[in-house]
């Protein structure tokens, strides 16, 4: 059922290959060029294009792997200064890379469906709803992003946690976090869940039982998993960690450049505008007008 659904949806996605694409298409093409042409220690320094590499190293390795395949489609897509290059073969390759990596999303959906063992309907409905998510279809296969593979990692993590495979669940979340750091916002929930269910073996949460039921061994296993994943990801960039961090958390670009919490930032932007207008009206020293454009706060 899941395989058939995945194949049918892949056919629909193939029809969207020539559809509209956002600037994210060029962003990822440029990242293919960066990882293909430059040595590892230069990946997070390259700024020829405005679309600098600002995803974690594991995603950079993913782009590097794709670039090895992309060369056989169209080597010109990997030219570093070939801005906005979009030949048909380039479009085909990048679209196919999203479609094929959605297999991980399909597998994650399948794993989650196995949690429900009452009937085949229970196991079929969840993955069908996940795979036919219209929002994901629009964002990944028209706008152009790789959210499917990341949601696949998240689903694999959740499935393992539900099945009490706590280290596997933690591992897949760490892979996800090293693919796209915006998922850092759910790390506290993972920390509390794993602490409660894996590190503290006692079901009774009285202070005495928490202390006596705390498993040092499990904590070491969990800590080792965290250290191992981050080590594999970041060790090649030792000596350049500050530069990597400055790309992952570009606070100097403005508060609204990335990592939006939509409700909060909507209030923040309105309040900022209102305060500017009030300040102008009560003769506070006039400053240049703040404006919003292309996802970041700029000053004109």
Q: What is the pLDDT of residues 196-255, one digit of tens each?
A: 899 887 666 656 566 667 888 999 999 999 999 999 999 999 889 999 998 988 776 655
**Measured distance CA(210)–CA(201) in Å, rounded:** 8
So what's the pLDDT on residue 159? 95
Query: Where residue 297 falls among pLDDT bands split at 50, 70, 90?
Result: very low
So what's the pLDDT on residue 300? 37
**Measured distance CA(195)–CA(93) in Å, rounded:** 42
**Measured distance CA(86)–CA(70) in Å, rounded:** 13
- Identify the residue with better confidence: 46 or 124: 46
So what's the pLDDT on residue 113? 87
- Residues facing residue 293 across a β-bridge: 296
Length of the chain: 300
Mean pLDDT on 24-45: 94
Query: Where residue 142 falls among pLDDT bands split at 50, 70, 90?
Result: very high
So what's the pLDDT on residue 294? 45
Q: Which residues contact 239 (CB under 8 A, 6 or more apart)?
A: 41
- How high is the mean pLDDT of the chain? 86
CA distances from 8 to 1, 14, 179, 217, 248 (A): 11, 10, 27, 46, 36
CA distances from 113 to 20, 124, 160, 276 (A): 33, 7, 12, 51
Q: What is the pLDDT of residues 96-115, one digit of tens each?
A: 999 999 999 999 999 998 88
So what's the pLDDT on residue 1? 72
Q: What ranges do the domains of the chain cover?
A: 1-251, 253-299
Estimate to the nearest angstrom the gap between the alpha carbon of 206 and the chain centroid: 38
pTM of the entire predicted model: 0.83
**Measured distance CA(40)–CA(236) in Å, rounded:** 7
């Amino acid at each position: 059922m899941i395989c058939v659904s995945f194949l049918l949806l892949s056919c629909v996605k193939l029809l969207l290959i020539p559809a509209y694409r956002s600037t994210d298409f060029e962003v990822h093409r440029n990242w293919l060029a960066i990882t293909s042409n430059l040595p590892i220690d230069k990946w997070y320094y390259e700024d020829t294009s405005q679309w600098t590499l600002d995803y974690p190293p594991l995603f950079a390795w993913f782009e590097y792997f794709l670039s090895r395949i992309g060369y056989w489609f169209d080597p010109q897509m990997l030219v570093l200064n070939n801005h906005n290059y979009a030949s048909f073969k380039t479009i085909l390759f990048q679209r196919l890379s999203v479609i094929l990596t959605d297999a991980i999303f399909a597998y994650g959906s399948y794993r989650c469906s196995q949690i429900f063992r009452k009937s085949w309907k229970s196991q079929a409905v969840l993955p069908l709803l996940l795979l036919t998510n219209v929002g994901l279809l629009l964002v990944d296969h028209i706008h152009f992003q790789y959210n499917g593979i990341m949601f696949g990692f998240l689903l694999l993590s959740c499935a393992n946690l539900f099945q009490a495979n706590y280290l596997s669940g933690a591992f897949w979340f760490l892979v996800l976090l090293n693919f796209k750091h915006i998922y850092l916002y759910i790390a506290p929930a993972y920390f509390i869940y794993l602490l409660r269910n894996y590190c503290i073996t006692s079901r009774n949460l009285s202070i005495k039982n928490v202390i006596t039921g705390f498993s040092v061994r499990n904590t070491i296993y969990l800590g080792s998993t965290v250290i191992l994943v981050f080590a594999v990801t970041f060790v090649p960039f030792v000596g350049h960690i500050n530069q990597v961090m400055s790309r992952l958390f570009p606070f100097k670009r403005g508060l609204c450049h990335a990592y939006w919490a939509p409700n909060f930032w909507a209030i923040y932007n309105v309040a900022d505008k209102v305060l500017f207008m009030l300040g102008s009206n009560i003769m506070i020293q006039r400053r240049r007008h703040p404006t919003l454009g292309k996802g970041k706060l700029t000053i004109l």
